[in-house]
Amino acid sequence: MANQIKNAFIAAILTAFIVTPVFGLQLVRQGARTLMAPHWSNVLIAMAVVFVGQLLRPWLALPFKRMKGTLPTLPAAPVQGHKWMMIVLIVAAIVWPFFSDRGSVDIATLVLIYVMLGLGLNIVVGFAGLLDLGFVGFYAVGAYTYALLYHWGGWSFWEALPFSGAIAALFGFVLGFPVLRLRGDYLAIVTLGFGEIIRLLLINLNWLTGGPDGISGIPKPTVFGLEMARTASVEGQKTFHEFFGLTFQNQHVIVYLYLTALLLALITLFVATRLKRMPVGRAWEALREDEIACRSLGLNPTRIKLSAFTLGAMFAGFGGAFFAARQGLVNPESFTFIESALILAIVVLGGMGSQVGVILAAILLTVLPELAREFAEYRMLMFGLVMVLMMMWRPQGLLPMKRPHVELEK
């Protein structure tokens, strides 16, 4: 008991140190001068809460311990593609926006962008086990590739899309080289730096990228060359609604964007699933498990790592191009570290390597903040809390990856 009181006391003192600069000293403006006004009562309250909390911790922990045992467990992600279920889900996803309101479709489009990014990062982090904290860099490269191709060359979305993927893949490939020798924490730091370099370049290359203002007026995807706009940007061309004799509705544009995103996300899912089962996918996973054993079997780790970086970055590039088209403008503000963290959180929360899990996590982490708009200020706080709780209760993620089961013929 004496020990507990001592611990609680130390915790309370530490709390005082941590809390004082944040709550205890508040800045007060008086004309041109800024004064610091101490609020000791806040600090005392915090200390008291921590002291009591620490004293009662053993009792507070009890219900959680019990809960841990009875917490419902989710089934592991199914391996065999339940074909019919997939088809039903896809059809539902296609039909749904026509009966939904604008806001929801908009959020769903955002979800699909994150699904694309999550699946892309899942290749690097989940399959190959290379912790990449600068993934947003490739997203930015994709977005700016389309933006610049439009700005300087007048390219349309569908023309620029393959290039966005290719240029992002090239950046992934180039980044791959210096980090080949790195693993774990070191790799994370270098990739983090890479993400920041891209963002700072975008801010500072004023002549090319428009600096902090970015590039605006980027057109939305066309429908086989027909613009989705109230009036055609080029004299004499027909827009989508004129061609089909409809009246212009903003809803059409939103739904079309959603369907485009759905198409891209489905392609990403399809390709990533195939890749996983292919020799290169197996090699990624083997590399994650044991690089030395890989080498001893004649697998070239350089090629395997580079292929993971390149392909992962490619999907980020596609996602970026779509993002640019949807927003209509790109600026460096959209590609901060927080985005990288969010995408990584999607992969970790979903269950590293599990594609269904990643999709589920992308939905959760995008929709929940939208639903809880009133708590926007606490968004990152809740985010952190969810991650901590997940690591305690389900470190393997929402829907952990299950190994494929293969029946051998006699």
Partner 1 sequence: MSDVLLKVSDLCMRFGGLLAVDHVDFEVKSDEVFAIIGPNGAGKTTVFNCVGGFYDPTEGDIVMDGQRIKGLSSHMVARSGLVRTFQNVRLFKQLTVLENLLVAQHTQVETRLLPGLLKLKSYRQAEADALARAAQWLDFMGLRQYANREAGNLAYGHQRRLEIARCMITKPRLLMLDEPAAGLNPHEKQDLQRLIDRLRREFGVAVLLIEHDMSLIMGISDRILVMEHGKPIMTGTPQAVRSDERVIKAYLGEE
Residue with tokens 């929360």: 349
Closer CB to partner 1, residue 285 or residue 370? Answer: 285
Does position 364 interact with partner 1 (CB under 8 A)? The reply is: no
Binders of partner 1 among 242-271, rule CB under 8 A?
A: 271
Closer of 133 and 280 to partner 1 (Cβ): 280
**Residue 110, C-beta contacts closer than 8 angstroms, at least 6 positions apart:** 366
**Shortest distance (Å) from residue 266 CB to partner 1:** 14
The CA-atom distances, in angstroms, between 377 and each of 27, 38, 336, 372 are 20, 24, 18, 10
Name the residue among 305, 311, 287, 313 with its Cα closest to residue 180.
Answer: 305
CB of 343 to partner 1, least distance (A): 23
Asked if 405 interacts with partner 1 (CB under 8 A), we say yes
User: Which token pair is 328?
Assistant: 């209509």
Task: Classify the phi-psi angles of 217: left when phi > 0, otherwise alpha if psi is within -120 to 50, otherwise beta.
Answer: left
Interaction mask 60-79, partner 1, x per CB under 8 A: --------------------
Q: Which range in 108-116, 173-181, 234-242, 291-299 contacts partner 1 by CB under 8 A?
A: 291-299
**DSSP conformational letter for 30:** E
The number of residues making up the chain comes to: 410
Contact present, 371 and 329 (Cβ < 8 Å)? no
Nearer to partner 1, 274 or 379 (CB): 274
CB burial of 34-58 (b: ≥16 within 10 Å; e: otherwise) equals eeeeeeeebbeebbeebbeebbeee
Tokens for 17, please give them.
């140190």
126: nearest Cα among 330, 294, 335, 344: 344
Does the protein bind partner 1 through residue 238 (CB under 8 A)? Answer: no
Task: Give yes or no for residue 293 binding partner 1 (CB under 8 A).
Answer: yes
Q: Does 290 bind partner 1 (CB under 8 A)?
A: yes
Residue for token digits 């004799």? Answer: 245
In the complex, the smallest distance separating the C-beta of residue 183 from partner 1, rounded to whole angstroms, is 16
Q: What is the DSSP letter of 227?
A: B
Please answer whether residues 235 and 83 qualify as being in contact, where contact means their C-beta atoms are separated by less than 8 angstroms: no
Is residue 297 part of the contact set for partner 1 (CB under 8 A)? yes
Q: Are 31 and 70 in contact (CB under 8 A)?
A: no
Judged by beta carbon, residue 83 or residue 403, the one nearer partner 1 is 403
- Residues 300-319 contacting partner 1, CB under 8 A: 300-301
* Identified binder of partner 1 from the candidate list 34, 75, 279, 377, rule CB under 8 A: 279
Q: Which is nearer to partner 1, 92 or 408 (CB)?
A: 408
Q: Does 286 bind partner 1 (CB under 8 A)?
A: yes
Q: How far apart are alpha carbons 20 and 39 in whole angstroms?
A: 9
| Residue 26 sits in the site that holds partner 1 (CB under 8 A) | no
282, 341, 386, 394: which one binds partner 1 (CB under 8 A): 282
Query: Would strands 33-38 and 215-216 be described as parallel, antiparallel, or unpaired?
Result: unpaired
Report CA-CA distances (Å) from 54 to 11, 20, 45, 135.
8, 19, 14, 39
Q: Does 373 interact with partner 1 (rule: CB under 8 A)?
A: no
Among 296, 371, 373, 377, binds partner 1 (CB under 8 A): 296
148/155 Cα distance (integer angstroms): 9
Q: For the CB of residue 82, give the shortest distance to partner 1 in the complex, in Å.
A: 19
For position 294 contacting partner 1 by CB under 8 A, the verdict is yes
* 322: nearest Cα among 363, 370, 266, 386: 266
Q: Could you tell me how many residues of this chain bind partner 1 (CB under 8 A)?
A: 28
Q: Extract the runs of DSSP E, i.e. beta strands, from 41-111.
A: none
Of 68 and 274, which CB lies nearer to partner 1 in the complex structure? 274
One of 2, 36, 292, 371 touching partner 1 (CB under 8 A): 292
Q: Is 170 in the site for partner 1 (CB under 8 A)?
A: no
Which of 280, 306, 316, 330 is close enough to bind partner 1 by CB under 8 A? 280
Please tell me whether residue 197 binds partner 1 under the rule CB under 8 A.
no
Binding site for partner 1 (CB under 8 A): 271, 274-275, 278-280, 282-283, 285-286, 289-290, 292-301, 403-406, 408-409
